[in-house]
Amino acid sequence: MRLATLRTPAGTVAARIEGDTAVELAASDVGALLQADDWAARAAADGPRREPIDFAAVVPRPGKIICVGLNYRTHIQEMGRDLPRYPTLFAKFPEALVGPTDPIALDPASAAVDWEAELAVVVGRRVRRADDETAAAAIAGFAVLNDVTMRDWQYRGPQWLSGKTFEATTPFGPVLVTPDELPGGTRPLLTVQCTVDGVVRQSSNTGDLVFDPVALVRYVSQILTLAPGDVIATGTPAGVGHAATPPSYLRAGSVVVTEIEHLGRLTNTAVVPVCG
């Protein structure tokens, strides 16, 4: 099943995507849909059909966005670090999220805006101190995310938060795809790619993850309760601009295409926001 949050003249609405057609569901967005214990049955219901489709961020306002740093072996190597014993976690806030074709805001406060293609896990049920089986059952599905990062702000101190959650920088969507549609299910084996201005910058496979989605849900749930609609961004593979020689960053007009096999594509243009 493929679920999305759509923009309409009346506001946002959750929908099931069937080819080029959206079937509207009885929820304001995918996050609201997941709050129901029987969300899968509700997601299969019939409803009004809509074309064309205007995608918003697939979960517009998650209660929590937990991000994982240094989780692809090749990316860890390019950053000159050792493989971690435990996941490296940081947070992002909903104000950072944008839709799959929305602009990426190049805030004038930063001169080092980088791309990070990522597989995002969306939680579908409350879970605390999970074992593997419970963690897998808590995964509603997966989506594409780009953890766009202000590197100069990220490294102002030992904590990464300030460089990771600038407003209107993080494309997320276009759809949530349930595990039954993916090779590997809740541990999906998918190719991940990011191009910038037509040049392939990142190309990898989720098989390179140090901590897979089930392991991450299990680990994070030891710290706090994960709730329906919460998001875990699982980390980025090698090929970020900051690790290039010389470093390479987004500029006004840069087109970033983030694609994960079976999940879809984000196409976003970097723009300098009008401040006023």
* 94-150 residue pLDDT tens: 999 999 999 999 999 999 999 999 999 999 999 999 999 999 999 999 999 999 999
Encode pLDDT of 25-74 as tens digits: 999 999 999 999 999 999 999 999 998 899 999 999 999 999 999 899 88
Torsion angle, alpha carbons of 115, 120, 126, 131, to 10:
-110
The Cα–Cα gap between 93 and 67 comes to 10
Q: 99 and 184 share a domain?
A: yes
Q: What's the pLDDT at 276?
A: 54
Domain co-membership, 34 together with 93: no
- β-pairing, 117-123 vs 139-146, is antiparallel
Residues 208 and 72 in one domain: yes
Same domain (yes/no): 161, 43: no
Mean pLDDT over each residue of the chain, to the nearest integer = 96
Instruction: Please check whether residue 39 lies inside any domain of the structure.
Output: yes
Q: Are residues 16 and 66 in the same domain?
A: no
DSSP 8-state code for residue 86: S
Q: Is 92 a residue whose pLDDT tops 60?
A: yes
Radius of gyration of the chain (CA): 18
In this structure, the answer to whether residues 40 and 86 fall within a common structural domain is no
What pLDDT was estimated at residue 83? 84
d(CA 214, CA 231): 13
Q: Show which of 18, 37, 56 is a domain's final residue.
A: 56
Shared domain for 51 and 169, answered yes or no, is no
| pTM score, whole prediction | 0.96
Of 56, 75, 95, the last residue of a domain is 56
What type of residue is 151? Answer: R
Please check whether residues 85 and 189 belong to one and the same domain.
yes
| Domain-located, residue 276 | no
Residue 36 lies in a domain: yes
pLDDT reading at 79 higher than 80: no
pLDDT-based confidence at 275, cuts 50/70/90? Answer: low
The answer to whether residue 105 sits within a structural domain is yes
Residues 14 and 82 in one domain: no
Distance CA 210, CA 213 (A): 10
Residues 182 and 82 in one domain: yes
Of 16, 36, 56, the residue that ends a domain is 56
Q: Please indicate, yes or no, if residue 10 is contained in any of the structural domains.
A: yes
Please count the other Cβ atoms lying within 10 Å of the Cβ belonging to residue 15. Answer: 29
Query: What pLDDT, on the 0 to 100 scale, is given for residue 112?
Result: 98
Distance (Å) of CA 8 to CA 93, 126, 226, 275: 24, 29, 29, 27
Pair (52, 91) in one structural domain: no
Q: Is residue 253 part of a domain?
A: yes
Domain assignment of residue 244, given as a range: 60-271
| Chain segment 4-29, per-residue pLDDT in tens | 999 999 999 999 999 999 999 999 99
In terms of domains, do 143 and 218 share one? yes
Total domains in the fold of the chain: 2
